[in-house]
């Protein structure tokens, strides 16, 4: 999807305040509220923009977070699909190097991380090893990268 200056301004404004009304957003770009809504909808449908509420899992009682380095013996894409279907898995990325997949997980306790890894991830066909990197704290967590 090709973005123009108006699209980029919309993205920058919504990064600052994702709850901004169409009328307020339109005022910053010189469009009416309905025209602004159409622009935002086009960005959403084009998968350029996703408006979501960001939560802090630690503040909600999920006390254990970890990154899992996962080794596989075949095409990791099917395994990534299966892992992505697990509720505790926040995201999965395909990588190069000593791990074929990384998965971030959020659980209620360290025991739940252990159970997830041993009972539900290691048994996935094609998974040959899992290394667990527990988090001590979230240091930087941003969603405001530069809009080109």
The parent domain of residue 9 ranges over 5-45
Secondary structure letter of residue 58 according to DSSP? G
Contact 72, 127 (CB under 8 A): yes
Residues 40 and 72 in one domain: no
Q: Kindly report the CATH number assigned to the domain that includes residue 40.
A: 1.10.10.10
> How far, in Å, are 80, 117, 134 from residue 55 at the CA level?
24, 24, 19
> Model pTM greater than 0.75?
no
Residues 11 and 74 in one domain: no
Closest CA to 108 of 42, 63, 60, 67: 63
Residue 43 pLDDT exceeds 90: yes
pLDDT tens digits, 44-74: 999 999 888 777 777 777 789 999 999 999 8
């Amino acid at each position: 999807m090709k973005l123009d200056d108006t699209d980029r301004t919309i993205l920058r404004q919504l990064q600052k305040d994702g709850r901004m009304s169409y009328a307020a957003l339109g005022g910053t770009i010189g469009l009416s509220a309905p025209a602004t809504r159409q622009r935002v909808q086009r960005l959403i449908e084009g998968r350029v923009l996703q408006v979501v509420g960001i939560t802090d899992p630690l503040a909600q009682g999920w006390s254990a977070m970890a990154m899992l380095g996962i080794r596989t013996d075949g095409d990791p894409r099917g395994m990534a699909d299966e892992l992505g279907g697990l509720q505790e898995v926040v995201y999965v990325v395909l990588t190069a190097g000593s791990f074929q997949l990384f998965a971030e997980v959020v659980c209620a306790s360290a025991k739940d991380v252990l159970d997830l890894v041993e009972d539900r991830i290691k048994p996935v066909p094609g998974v040959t090893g899992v290394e667990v990197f527990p988090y001590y704290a979230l240091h930087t967590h941003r969603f405001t990268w530069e809009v080109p």
